[in-house]
Structure 1
Amino acid sequence: MTDAFIDIPGVRNFRDAGGIGALRRGVLYRSGSFHTLTEEGARRLKGLGLRTVFDLRSAFELEAWPDQRHGLDHETLSLPTLPPHPTPEDGGDRPWPEDQSALYPFMAESAGPSLAAVVRRLAAPGSLAAVVHCAVGKDRTGLTIAVLQSLLDASEAEITADFLLSNLGLGLDEGPVPYLDETGSERLSRPVGAELLASSLGWIEDHHGSVPGYLRHHGVTDPELDALRTNLAA
């Protein structure tokens, strides 16, 4: 295991997203959800100075697996990366892709409002330390953290290496692992590969020219981008 991983009892795949590019350590973390967080885990999070949690899960996931707090007083922002699953009543024409290779460009297409809100909050005073999490901290969290790291001048190789650490953090380094989803159905959690993240970032570049251009399209201002860099930089 790399020294980026931090043992937070009851939280999977918890690690420091900093130490690459200009992003300093100790201000931005990434993980799976807090729905099985223990009291000891909460004490350790408090010791990290946790002030903000960005929860990228769907409303259904939040209802099925609510985060535990154990007295922690951080702010939680619910910012779903993906749109709600469509139902027959609303046409049902844009379900979440099941295939990973299709999911990643779809995430880039749909995540703009969520990512813009993350950037705005991290640009504001008093937001740090912060944690970004989804269900297991692999896909939705992976894209969000990659965007933030790119804004802090991390290289593509550094961003990809950090992204791939989720395979270690989730025990996926030897292949897919079965799990029960929020509906109680058995599914397979699959390892991530470099090509997946590249497809998300490639979609952003193809449609908006750059990560800052993508965020500007979703309402983020240049002063906010500058403030985020100031807050997170070493």
Structure 2
Amino acid sequence: MTDAFIDIPGVRNFRDAGGIGALRRGVLYRSGSFHDLTEEGARRLKALGLRTVLDLRSPFELEVWPDLRHGLDHETLNLPTLPANREDVDRPWPEDQASLYPFMAGTAGPSLVAVVRHLAAPGTLPAVVHCAVGKDRTGLTIAVLQSLLGASEEEITTDYLRSNVGLGLDKGPQPYVDETGAERTSRPISAALLDSALSWITGRHGSVPDYLRAHGVTDEELTALHANLSG
């Protein structure tokens, strides 16, 4: 693993999202969920000064696998990347990993704007963004934030692909049980997956900032985000 990874017992794939573009280290982390967080893990999160957890999972996932705190007093916000109900979207529900990424780009706008607004507010940092394992939903969200902070496509992709190492997917697909109890297979991520989501965004909106503006973010909020997160 690289020095971006931080050992937080009970939390998978925890690492610093900073150190690229203008995004400084020690203010924005990314990970899997906290539902297996240990007391030692909580002590290490407290030592990081964690103030905010932005949880991208569905309400049902939160019900099945609630994050543990062990006395931590950070604020937690549920900002789902994906719609709670298939009936809420006017596009085909993704059937595989390849179709998931453009789908996320098409549905994540409100979640991403909420993430930007919270991270732009005073007193919210350090913060962690997480989903179930910190790979897909977190991958897109962090890529958008890193892009806003001036990271290059190569830097963003390199960080995104670290989830393969953080989850053992560099050794190949891994079995897991989802929130419904069904046995599934977690597959490695690739640069092409992230590119398909970002290309969807730029193809329809021209740029990441314009995509967010289309969902209601203001230039003042984007400026505040940069001021809060930049070195």
Report the TM range for the smaller structure's normalisation: over 0.9
Task: Letter of the 2:67 partner, please give it.
Answer: D
C-alpha displacement at 1:98, in angstroms? 2.4
Aligned to 2:144: 147
Structure 1 residue 84: Cα displacement: 1.3
Structure 2 residue identity aligned to 1:224: E
Identity %: 79
Q: Which residue of 2 aligns with 1:129?
A: 126
Q: 2:59: which partner in 1?
A: 59
Answering whether residue 80 of structure 2 is matched by residue 80 of structure 1, we say yes
The structural deviation recorded for 1:183 is 1.1
* Distance apart, 1:95 and its partner CA: 6.0
Residues 40-55 of structure 1: pairs in structure 2 closer than 5 A: 40-55=40-55
Whether contact under 8 Å (2:83, 2:89) holds in the other structure is no
Indicate the residue corresponding to 1:167 in structure 2: 164
- Which residue is equivalent to 2:193? 196
**Would you say 1:107 and 2:104 are equivalent positions?**
yes
Describe the shift of the 1:91–1:29 C-alpha distance in structure 2 as closer, same or farther (beyond 3 A): closer
SS at match of 1:118: helix
Seen in structure 2, the aligned counterparts of structure 1 residues 91 and 122 have a Cα distance that, compared at 3 Å, is: closer
Normalising by structure 1, report the TM-score: 0.96
Question: Do the aligned residues in 1 keep the contact of 2:54 with 2:77 (CA within 8 Å)?
Answer: yes
Q: Go from structure 1 to structure 2 and tell me whether the alpha carbon gap of 1:208 and 1:47 turns closer, same or farther (over 3 Å shift).
A: same
- CA–CA distance in 2 between the matches of 1:224 and 1:140? 22
Please give the secondary structure, in 2, of the residue aligned with 1:131.
strand
Amino acid at match of 1:34: F
TM-score by length of 2: 0.98
Note the residue ranges of structure 2 that are not aligned, 5 or more in a row. Answer: none
- Matched to 2:36, the amino acid is T
Structure 1, unaligned stretches of length 5 or more? Answer: none
- Asked if residue 183 in structure 1 is aligned to residue 151 in structure 2, the reply is no
Corresponding residue of 1:215: 212
Q: After superposition, where does 1:222-233 map in structure 2 within 5 Å?
A: 222-233=219-230
Count of aligned residue pairs for this structure pair: 231
Rounded Cα–Cα distance in structure 2 between residues aligned with 1:200 and 1:151: 15
Q: What CA deviation, in whole Å up to 9, does each residue of 1:68-124 have, x standing for no partner?
A: 0111111111000000133xxx59975641211110000000000000000001111
